[in-house]
Amino acid sequence: MKFVDAHIHLSESEYSKLANELVAEARNSNVVALVSNSTDLETSINNLKIAEKFSGEVYPALGIHPWNVNLLKENELEEIFKLIFNKSKRNTVVAIGEIGLDYKYEAAFEKQLLVFDKMLHLAEKLNLPVIIHSRGTTSKIIEILPSYNIKRILLHWFSSPISALNKAMEHGYYITEGPPVVYSHGIQEIVKEVPVTNLLSETDGPVSYYKPPFKGKSTSPSFIPKVVEGIARVKNMSVIEVADQILENFETFFNIKLN
């Protein structure tokens, strides 16, 4: 049985010296592929290095997280655009992410909208999938997305509202869920509504989880089998059925053929 972590942040500072250990833990847990998301230019560059080191196991997604738009240095946006463009031509980058909107950073919301729009247009131009952060902004994002010609859209850690979820499913978007599917009734309700053909598993590490069975543990790709077990319970399916379908979804969404 093979598993995937479609959303992790291997280049974040908390993980900076742990890449070897985390990839080893992934291997030991039959997690055969990880998509490492970026939040700015520095993490994008670092993710490319990590992906080169662990070729065939780690795949880079490059982008600007909404919480970083107000921290952009001069020319940083142009530099990351050049990086994504060049790496996409070499088939090195598998997605643009993590991008999106977040009302928690409302003071920078207009700039978030500007950066998000530019990233979506780039995805359109390069025919790349996008991985979207939508905390508190899912309904707005669902309204925005159909105006772009982007074929593969992933809403990371979808939590609410159900009305936006229904619209997302109508458009064929994908959803990732992580460790909370084991204990959160809200996330379990979301998973019930999403066809298994539109689901992917994630950890979002280094985010920490504070409920059993993850309480007190450092977030690791080794959590993924429990995530898939949680999805299987909600879906009333076998773990192997869910794992196989998520693997297929991963290959389809990221246009990757795993060994």
**pLDDT for residue 105:** 67
Percent of the chain having pLDDT more than 70?
Answer: 99
Asked if residue 113 has pLDDT above 90, the reply is yes
**Minimum mean pLDDT among 36-40, 64-68, 229-233: which range?**
64-68
**pLDDT for residue 72:** 85
Residues 118 and 76 sit within 8 Å (Cβ to Cβ): no
Q: Is 143 left (phi over 0), alpha (psi -120 to 50) or beta?
A: alpha
Residues 38 and 98 sit within 8 Å (Cβ to Cβ): yes
Query: Vertex 92, ends 58 and 89: CA angle to 5°?
Result: 170
Q: Which is more confident, 72 or 172?
A: 172
Give the integer Cα–Cα distance in Å for 74 and 209.
Answer: 35
When the pLDDT of each residue in the chain is averaged and rounded to a whole number, the result is 94
Percent of the chain having pLDDT more than 90?
Answer: 83
* Residues ≥6 apart with Cβ < 8 Å to 68: 39, 40
**pLDDT for residue 214:** 93
Residues 99 and 67 sit within 8 Å (Cβ to Cβ): no
pLDDT band, very low/low/confident/very high, at 204 (cuts 50, 70, 90)? very high
User: Of 11-20, 74-83, 190-199, which one has max mean pLDDT?
Assistant: 190-199
Amino acid at 44: S
Q: Which is more confident, 115 or 135?
A: 115
Give the integer Cα–Cα distance in Å for 8 and 24.
Answer: 15
Asked if residue 27 has pLDDT above 90, the reply is yes
Q: Which domains does the chain have, with CATH numbers?
A: 3-254 (3.20.20.140)
| Mean pLDDT of the region 216-223 | 95
Describe the crossing of helices 76-89 and 41-53 by its angle, rounded to 10 degrees.
Answer: 30
Number of H helices and number of E strands within the chain? 9, 8
pTM of the model: 0.95
Give the integer Cα–Cα distance in Å for 36 and 7.
Answer: 6
Asked if residue 80 has pLDDT above 80, the reply is yes
Query: Vertex 48, ends 47 and 50: CA angle to 5°?
Result: 60
Q: What is the pLDDT of residues 162-184, one digit of tens each?
A: 888 999 999 999 999 999 999 99
**pLDDT for residue 104:** 77
Asked if residue 107 has pLDDT above 90, the reply is no
**pLDDT for residue 173:** 97
**pLDDT for residue 106:** 65
* Residues ≥6 apart with Cβ < 8 Å to 219: 179, 203, 204, 205, 206, 207, 208, 209
Residues 174 and 146 sit within 8 Å (Cβ to Cβ): no
| Mean pLDDT of the region 116-144 | 94
